[in-house]
Structure 1
Amino acid sequence: MQPVIHHPWTLTEQEAISLQKQLALQVKTEDQVKEVQHIAGVDVAYHVAEDVLVAGIVVLDAASLQVVESVVVSDSVAFPYIPGLFSFRELPPLMKAFEKLQTVPQLIVCDGQGIAHPRRFGLASHVGLLYDIPAIGCGKTRLLGEYAQPDSHRGACSPLLDEGEIVGAVLRTQADTKPVFVSVGHGISLPTACEWITRLAPKYRLPETTRQVDQLVNKALAGLGN
């Protein structure tokens, strides 16, 4: 898979912030999701001892939620650790993983944020816009915003608000469990994003996309340096 837009990756902090603000204006928050056969889960982790990033992609069959393809790539760090600019650090190795991917997904779920971000442009927005594929951010924790706890039943949600703007939803994927934080990445509405995350989490708190890609990346991290 190749990106449909290109921009420089060697940037200063201020240049990255400026580009982030420009790209955020291109994010679409209405549904562009069509027939979904394959869904990709993506994640990136840092190996401190080896000073490398490990990027993983797992593609699931949308109907069965079975893994049909997985790719993992380790790469050197090209951008510093700066809060709010993680996508500029994590996307270069993730793009190398996408290059190896044979199955084109119709939906991407990122272990992170979409527009629930200080400049409304987290990793899920960056990935979705870069490849022009609908994308969802599904974070284990909140990056920003305020919310009321959703009801305890599966599928319950409450709005995530930042400065009065709804930037995401706090979604209970399983009854009486901690919620996840869902936000639009690109090309999808928030209600549809919540529907998909609920569908992708039939048994566990985390969607299968996240569970499977976390396992892939953690196994790769454990193998580094051995």
Structure 2
Amino acid sequence: MSRTAVQSILVPLSGLTLSSRAVAYGVYAAKRLNVPLVGLYAGKALEDSPTEEILVRSFQKDCNLSGISPSLKKIPDLSADSIYAATGNGEGSLLLVHRKGLDNGQNDAVSFSELATRPTPASLMVIPPQFLEIESMGLVYDGSGESDRALDLAVALSRSAVWPLTILLISEDQSRIADLSRTLEDYFEQNDQDTPIDWVTVALLGPVDETALQFVREGSIELLVLALTGVDQPGRRLFQESPIPVIAAR
């Protein structure tokens, strides 16, 4: 399994309320991970949206107050196509997005569902309604190839930000959970020698979406990572209903 680290955080500046929340998460994560923060803004103002000048000034002010020196990237508009193009090859990028229907009146903001089907390798961080400081994180792990890549990303985040990692093993088959637990033991024995992280597994019986969502709502973690295998696959409810940010790992 290859190591996957976040090398930059991208924030589309799409609407004052939404952008403020996204910027708060972007600034917080950029400081914890020690990576560049990039604001994407439209080259033309959208109807019923704050002007690009207001958005850019607000973004720069929020970043400067937090001790962050951000970069800015001007794109033609804030459509899914333009944002996708702005990620380049996307390797190592974490793109902050909202979930559809979350912010009334913020119709200029491209949503998770519009970007999830794009082939960019950038991971997507879906922003929840309220900002919470991230002090611990979780991962939904099922042993698939996509989940292995999500594991790599979660471990890299945990190591960089010093966030304890809770790995959720969710299945209706107890023998499957035992197999996954052994796989993780082997993984960390091979890959966690130089800089060990604080990690633990939690075995849960039940369907993935409902069980993981219940765990998240209990407040044990403030960030969740899972593999993005398709917007209709298990995990869809988590992206739409989670009270904490969810990273869809490519």
Task: Say yes or no: TM over 0.5.
Answer: no
- Identify, as 1 or 2, the structure richer in helix: 2
Q: Which has the larger radius of gyration?
A: 2
Scaled by the length of structure 2, the TM-score of the pair is 0.29
Scaled by the length of structure 1, the TM-score of the pair is 0.31
